[in-house]
Amino acid sequence: MEDWSRKESPVSLGKRGISKVIWYIANRELVDQLISTRFLIIVLLVVGLIPLATYVGLEDYKNRLQDYDRLVADKQKLMAGEAGQKVQGEDSPWTPENELAVFRAIRRPDPLSVFVRGLDGAYPEYWDFTPTGIEEGPSALRPKRLSDLLGQLDMEFLIRVVLGLLAILLAFDAVSGEKEMGTLRLVFSQPISRAGFLAGKLVAGAAVLLVPLAAAFLAALLSSKIFGMESLPPDGSLKLLLVFLASSLYLLCIYSLGLLISSLTRSQKTSIIVLLVIWIVMSLAASPVATFTAQAICPAPSRHIVENQKKRLGDALKTETEKAMGAAYRDVTGVENRMSYGDFLDNKDAVLRRIDPIISSYVNKRRQLLAEVQQEADRQENGQNRIARTVMWLSPATTFTNVVTDLSSTGDESRLAWFAAAERYFNRLEAVLFEDPPMITVRLGGMSSTLERRNLPSISELPMFVPPKNQVVTTIQRALPSVIILMVHIVLLIIGGFIAFARYDVR
Amino acid sequence: MLKAIIRKELLENVLSFRFPLFFIICAVLILTSLYVHQLDFGNRVRDYNEQIRLAGEELAAARPTDIHYGRVPLRGFLPPSPLAGFASGFEASLPKFYEFNAEGAKPGDTAVAEESVLSVFGKLDFLFIVQMVASLIVLLFASDMIAGEKEMGTLRAILANSAPRHTVLLGKYLGGFTAVWLPFLVVFLLGVILLGVLSFPLTQAGMPLRLALIFLASSLFLLAYFALGLLVSASSARSRTALVAILLIWIVLQMAVPRLSDMIAAIVHPIPTQTVISMQKSVVVKSIENEKARALGRQYEALFGRGTPFNTNPEPESKRAEWDSYRTETETLAAERKAAQLREIESGYQREKARQRAIAANLSLISPSAALTRLLSDICGTGEIDRGRYLDAVKAHQQTLDAALYSHVHRTTVIMPSGGTASGSSIDTMVDPKTLPAFAFRRSGVGDALAGNWGSFLSLAFWLVAPFAAAYVRFINYDVR
Amino acid sequence: MNQQQPILKAEDLSKRYEDGVLALDHLNLTIRGGEAYCLLGANGAGKTTTINLFLNFIPPTTGTCYINGIDVTRDPLEAKKYVAFVSENVMLYGNFTARQNLDFFAKLGGKPDLTKENYYQVMRRVSLQEKAFEQRVKTFSKGMRQKLGISIAIIKDASAILLDEPTSGLDPKAAEEFLEILDELKKEGKAILMSTHDIFRAKEIGDRVGIMKEGRLVMERTRQELQYEDLVKIYIDYMKSEPLTV
């Protein structure tokens, strides 16, 4: 009657046979997911929110870019014109605030911050270097609204939260759902191995998740073009591609977690609840726990406290020195009850000869003192950061955030790099300018006066600020450890999944 | 009938895994976070007292002239809020102190400046746990109540009796929620006890009331989400669909809406950045100062001759009076102009900011979690109301200091027509710094918090009533086969 | 297909679960090609356990199952090539059509090159309505799903068919049609092992009928023997009698 029954004898289960079977499982799973409502809704949600997120990110970036341009223009004007003017008279400060802008380190906002906000808005827009220390300029983001404290709606968030939840929704019933539906029994009455089945699910999940991820990236690039963003430099495009790859890793990780949990539970409801609890803990509790643990294990003073400490020490030393210089002044000029420019000019060489050694000893003492404080603070802070980062590696979500913000130079590491660069520049400036000060303040009794010691160096002699490196290689280096951790997560979860499923009751 | 149903729902949930699971999760998260925040509060109080003491010492040791000239700034500190562990609100992001000097009030450092990138995850306080974790769990439990029973077949059995549908629904609502509310209550009480042990100021005026309000508001919030879950369950044929719907709704309400409202407000009503504003201000200041200096320089040369070096007490004495009066007049005029223009810029900016904020706030009230956030943070003294009060207190204190101290300091910069700039400063009356009033900041009362949050109440009320009403309608027609 | 060869064989098969329950107690059973064996028994008597053991869903405590001479525990993938399974009350893949479900399981079972017409043929054979062929399975009634289930088994064209309560929940007409198909398959030389509560149908289709009680095969009758004995009476007597184990 039917010739189909004579068509073929059962296939042999060689290598090709196994991969074919995996393909059948994967294919079926893929189609099933792609036509499901939940997939459609989430993709629409993501693709719908991306233009909005991009728009806001772009507007914010444009504002900060405007600020940057203005600050740079200001600085250039200053450098061309009025810096280094001598000021006559009593009680005049060495350099009025404006002139310090010559040394200002201005940070250009990173174009990738349109997509991955990270900390980019929380950086100071510039750093000023004063004789008494580094002062940070305002940052564009001081949480002005309560919802700022809830986080920002950028692409990183959409991938981590929304697509992450999609991965959970796709994976949670992969095994337990088929068990409840009875199809698991049917499938395993066929010649298919457990590993093959799970491998098929894995492949399908990965493929399904790539679709909305790619759609999200395309939507983001498209929106940014439409809303008038400049083209990314090739560097930036490469980094964006790496962000895409990192996102795929993250989603694969979440999906593997879902498969593992699904293979450990018998009912879908249990699967989803367990998964959600894990996901909530991992996403929302991981970072505060990490920060708290790090602070508990390795307390470190905040940057500002350290700066204040250094400033206080420096000021105290400075006042002491100024008084010593005042004593020298008195000794040389013989004048005790007034400080006038005329007296100083008459005895300039003698005064300076007495004062110079005081200054160099002050300079040395100061450098040593401050270096000690800074080194200790650095040690503690590095220790704390390392601990926090290590704890955060336990959670794929926080690891993902670290990877992505590192790649787009809006993360912790880049921020630390900027601070370090500011420190380095400050040390160089100190060496050139403040350690051989052209103008000094001398205290005698209750009076103080600022005297000229040597000619002010011209602007062209001064070192300029060098921003930290931002090329792809650097960002990859920063992100690499976290990427490896993500891969480790994936491997462990997949192995766990296979082990769990090998013992799964398929009846 | 109703009582029997309530009892059954209550027992069923208590005996299932939900009750202990919810209890454990709440207990672990809430108690840990309260503990951590209380420790942190202790540190911050210590810091606060230390800072005040140090500032006082600095002030006592400083020379009065330094204080007048602003080389030693006067500081006003923000006392830490004990309830920040419940709703951290703006607590961490407000400047811990302000420095007052002649140019105005400058904010000191805040805790947020040191946050790592992962602070974008949000702070783990009680509010957060209720909003993000408890709400999701409550939603999940409720989503199973109707569709799940239908799948088990017991729904048919119940409705085969003479109990009307609305009774059944009400029974599920009350009984089911009580099963979820009891662990929450127990954990909250444990938390309060824990705080008491850790020397939390439980008996401070208004504190018990605030704690009670926090608990009440959170319970209402959870009840609203429970009703929402019931609605979803009564609209789904299978509990699997309900589950997925719940998750999507939760994402939208919890995560998308609060941020979206902000983004939409920023789009609808964009405002310039702080840098732009401060640049505008410095342009104004510079131009006025320049003008003033030039005018003074002209007058100086007119009175004392060209090329005379600048001196705050110039010779001859006879012309000094004329010079002083001219100088005072010019400086006062310039100061007034400067103040007026700066005020205009600042108030314009604040107006725009307030408008944008209002738009965002009103939009965000769509989400019950935003409503809860605002309500709780105001009750805890870390919300908009207290932030406004802090900034107002800073402004007021600056004005007081200006009138009492800084108005007596004159900084004169002259630009000589013959070339050259010179400057000098003088103080017309020395003020004893100890007589200056200290910075005072009073937190808002419970009444203020409640009065300012009628929008949040409306939102919560809506979310309490509407889903339940809708669930009622859906359940009446629910297909139980 | 050699009709004399034993295709399904259980040798001294026992299963004790972790909680100590003895679900199967030394079962010995041989079913040859062209033979239908019906297992009767109360819930928990061991019928489903037997089938699960044949499918290697659980490992036996003692004894062996053979399909076509292949030890199921030792070489499950090979053994499963020769057996088809009809489960009780399977929801199948709801978002897929009947044909898509059939296609998937056919491929898994080792028949990747079938055409749409092949699938239609099989579905017609089980009297599934034409319009249901391309309809999503989640709209199917229980009877339709059962029919699809048997067509999945048919299309595999395996030497043995295992059925777990296949007619539960089917109306008499559908059950009758179902048995007709089984009869045809039996005549094609397949070995059939069916667990059921349905005494009447068991008598009709079964060449042999076995009654299981508390894990043991306590009684077995052939079709000829049953012509002279009242199966119903025997069955109920056994159900009512004292428990076998204390």
Quick one: pLDDT at residue B445? 86
Distance (Å) of CA B152 to CA A274, A471, B144, C34, C202: 21, 60, 11, 40, 30
**Residue C243 to residue A440: CA distance in whole angstroms:** 108
Q: Across the interface, do A269 and B274 touch by the CB < 8 Å criterion?
A: no
Q: Across the interface, do C118 and A2 touch by the CB < 8 Å criterion?
A: yes
Residue C2 pLDDT exceeds 90: no
Q: Across the interface, do B122 and A42 touch by the CB < 8 Å criterion?
A: no
Q: How many residues can be counted in chain A?
A: 507
**Residue C77 to residue C80: CA distance in whole angstroms:** 5
pLDDT, tens only, A262-287? 999 988 888 888 898 888 778 777 77
Pairs across A and B, CB distance < 8 A: 211
Q: Across the interface, do B267 and A152 touch by the CB < 8 Å criterion?
A: no
Q: Across the interface, do A149 and B21 touch by the CB < 8 Å criterion?
A: no
Does CATH place domain C6-240 in 3.40.50.300?
yes
Q: Which of residues 258-297 of A touch B (CB under 8 A)?
A: 268-269, 272-273, 276-277, 280, 283-292
Tokens 């160089």 correspond to A428
Quick one: pLDDT at residue B358? 84
Tokens 């008038």 correspond to A228
CA-based nearest distance B183→chain A, Å: 17
The alpha carbon of C118 is separated from its chain's Cα centroid by a whole number of angstroms, namely 23
Residue B116 pLDDT exceeds 50: no
Q: Which of A8, A24, A32 sits opposite C113 (nearest CB)?
A: A8
ipTM strictly over 0.95? no
Quick one: pLDDT at residue A341? 67
Closest CA in chain A for residue B25: A277
Q: Which of residues 107-136 of C touch A (CB under 8 A)?
A: 107-114, 118, 121-122
Quick one: pLDDT at residue A100? 60
pLDDT, tens only, C58-108? 999 999 999 999 999 999 989 999 999 998 888 899 889 999 999 999 988
Q: Across the interface, do C78 and A11 touch by the CB < 8 Å criterion?
A: no
Tokens 């980019």 correspond to A120
The subunits that touch chain B, with at least 3 C-beta pairs less than 8 Å apart, are A
Quick one: pLDDT at residue B210? 92
Other C-beta atoms within 10 Å of A442: how many? 23
Q: Across the interface, do C77 and A13 touch by the CB < 8 Å criterion?
A: yes
Quick one: pLDDT at residue A494? 96
Residue A101 pLDDT class (50, 70, 90 cuts): low
CA-based nearest distance A501→chain C, Å: 13
Quick one: pLDDT at residue C89? 82
Q: Which of B65, B115, B364 sits opposite A147 (nearest CB)?
A: B364
Q: With contacts defined as CB-CB under 8 Å, which chain C residues touch A185?
A: 55, 57, 85, 87, 90
pLDDT, tens only, A220-236? 999 998 888 888 888 88
Quick one: pLDDT at residue C109? 87
Using a CB–CB cutoff of 8 Å, tell me whether C71 touches chain A. Answer: no
Give the count of alpha carbons within 13 A of A161, CB side only. Answer: 26
Q: Which of A5, A9, A32 sits opposite C93 (nearest CB)?
A: A32
Residue C121 φ/ψ, nearest 5 degrees: -55, -50
Quick one: pLDDT at residue A109? 86
Quick one: pLDDT at residue B312? 66
**Type of residue found at B35:** Y
A90 Cβ contact list (under 8 Å, min separation 6): A339, A341, A449, B311, B312, B424
What's the mean pLDDT in A31-57? 87
Residue C155 pLDDT class (50, 70, 90 cuts): very high
**Residue C213 to residue C237: CA distance in whole angstroms:** 12
Quick one: pLDDT at residue A128? 82
Using a CB–CB cutoff of 8 Å, tell me whether A452 touches chain B. Answer: no
pLDDT, tens only, B246-259? 888 888 888 777 77
Q: Identify the residue among A146, A275, A319, A443 best suited for mutation to test binding to B, counting B beta carbons within 10 A and taking the highest.
A: A146
Pairs across A and C, CB distance < 8 A: 105
Q: Across the interface, do B132 and A284 touch by the CB < 8 Å criterion?
A: yes
CA-based nearest distance C241→chain A, Å: 30
Q: Which of residues 324-343 of A touch B (CB under 8 A)?
A: none
Residue C11 pLDDT exceeds 60: yes
End-to-end Cα distance, chain C: 45
What's the mean pLDDT in B428-432? 79
Closest CA in chain C for residue A11: C110
The subunits that touch chain A, with at least 3 C-beta pairs less than 8 Å apart, are B, C
Residue A454 pLDDT exceeds 50: yes
Span of A78-87, A496-505, B3-12, B171-180 with lowest mean pLDDT: A78-87
Sheet bearing C191-195, strands edge to edge: C83-86, C160-164, C191-195, C36-41, C208-213, C216-222
pLDDT, tens only, B163-213? 788 888 888 889 889 988 999 999 999 999 999 888 888 888 888 999 999
End-to-end Cα distance, chain B: 22
pLDDT, tens only, C22-43? 999 999 999 999 999 999 988 8
Other C-beta atoms within 10 Å of C188: how many? 15
CA-based nearest distance A501→chain B, Å: 22
Using a CB–CB cutoff of 8 Å, tell me whether C168 touches chain A. Answer: no
Q: With contacts defined as CB-CB under 8 Å, which chain C residues touch A8?
A: 110-113
Residue C245 pLDDT exceeds 70: no
CA-based nearest distance A87→chain B, Å: 6
pLDDT, tens only, C206-236? 999 999 988 899 889 888 888 777 778 888 8
What's the mean pLDDT in B317-327? 81
Q: Using an 8 Å Cβ cutoff, are A232 and A111 in contact?
A: yes
Q: With contacts defined as CB-CB under 8 Å, which chain A residues touch C82?
A: 10
CA-based nearest distance A186→chain B, Å: 21
pLDDT, tens only, A419-450? 888 888 888 877 776 666 766 777 776 666 76
Sheet bearing A105-106, strands edge to edge: A105-106, A126-130, A133-136
Cis geometry, peptide bond prior to residue B183 (ω within 30 degrees of 0): no
pLDDT, tens only, B337-388? 888 898 889 889 888 888 888 888 888 888 888 889 889 989 998 888 888 8
What's the mean pLDDT in B219-240? 90
Residue B113 pLDDT class (50, 70, 90 cuts): very low
Using a CB–CB cutoff of 8 Å, tell me whether C187 touches chain A. Answer: no
Helix (H/G/I), strand (E/B), else coil: B412: strand
Mean pLDDT, chain A, integer: 80
pLDDT, tens only, C49-65? 999 999 999 999 999 99
**Residue B423 to residue A91: CA distance in whole angstroms:** 8
CA-based nearest distance C232→chain A, Å: 30
pLDDT, tens only, B38-60? 887 888 888 888 888 888 888 88
What's the mean pLDDT in C138-160? 91
Q: Across the interface, do C57 and A506 touch by the CB < 8 Å criterion?
A: yes
pLDDT, tens only, B386-408? 888 998 899 889 888 888 888 77
CA-based nearest distance C92→chain A, Å: 5
**Residue C72 to residue C79: CA distance in whole angstroms:** 6
Quick one: pLDDT at residue A435? 65
Quick one: pLDDT at residue C123? 94
pLDDT, tens only, A113-161? 889 887 776 777 888 887 667 777 776 554 444 334 445 678 888 898 8
Q: With contacts defined as CB-CB under 8 Å, which chain A residues touch B124?
A: 284-285, 288-289
Q: Which of C55, C93, C156 sits opposite A183 (nearest CB)?
A: C93
Higher pLDDT, A5 or A94: A5
Q: Across the interface, do A398 and B63 touch by the CB < 8 Å criterion?
A: no
Residue A8 pLDDT class (50, 70, 90 cuts): very low
Mean pLDDT, chain B, integer: 83
For the stretch A477-484, contacts whose Cβ atoms lie closer than 8 Å and that sit 24 or more positions apart, written own/partner, are A478/A406, A478/A411, A478/A413, A478/A414, A479/A242, A479/A246, A479/A402, A479/A403, A479/A406, A479/A407, A482/A393, A482/A399, A482/A400, A482/A402, A482/A403, A482/A406, A483/A246, A483/A249, A483/A403
Q: With contacts defined as CB-CB under 8 Å, which chain B residues touch A289?
A: 124
Which of B57, B53, B87, B6 lies closest to B374, judged by CA? Answer: B87
Q: Identify the residue among A38, A190, A192 best suited for mutation to test binding to C, counting C beta carbons within 10 A and taking the highest.
A: A190
Quick one: pLDDT at residue A91? 29
CA-based nearest distance B31→chain A, Å: 13
The 10 Å CB-count burial string (b at 16+, else e) for A98-129 is: ebbbbbbbbbebbbbbbbbbbbbbbbbbbbbb
Higher pLDDT, A269 or B87: B87
Other C-beta atoms within 10 Å of B31: how many? 17
Q: Across the interface, do A63 and B272 touch by the CB < 8 Å criterion?
A: yes
Q: With contacts defined as CB-CB under 8 Å, which chain B residues touch A478?
A: none
Quick one: pLDDT at residue C194? 95
Sheet bearing B97-101, strands edge to edge: B74-77, B97-101, B104-107
Read off the tokens for A360. 């160099």
pLDDT, tens only, A279-316? 877 877 777 778 778 877 888 776 667 777 887 788 88
Quick one: pLDDT at residue C82? 93
Q: Which of A25, A181, A186 sits opposite C85 (nearest CB)?
A: A186
Other C-beta atoms within 10 Å of B299: how many? 16
Q: With contacts defined as CB-CB under 8 Å, which chain A residues touch B423?
A: 87, 89, 91-92
Residue B75 pLDDT exceeds 70: yes
Residue A95 pLDDT exceeds 50: no
Q: Identify the residue among C108, C121, C187 best suited for mutation to test binding to A, counting A beta carbons within 10 A and taking the highest.
A: C108
Q: With contacts defined as CB-CB under 8 Å, which chain C residues touch A5?
A: 157
Quick one: pLDDT at residue B118? 37
Q: Using an 8 Å Cβ cutoff, are A339 and A330 in contact?
A: no
Quick one: pLDDT at residue C204? 87
Quick one: pLDDT at residue A150? 44
Q: Which of B90, B286, B422 sits opposite A143 (nearest CB)?
A: B90
Helices A37-80, B257-268: inter-axial angle, 10-degree rounding? 40
Q: Across the interface, do A146 and B247 touch by the CB < 8 Å criterion?
A: no
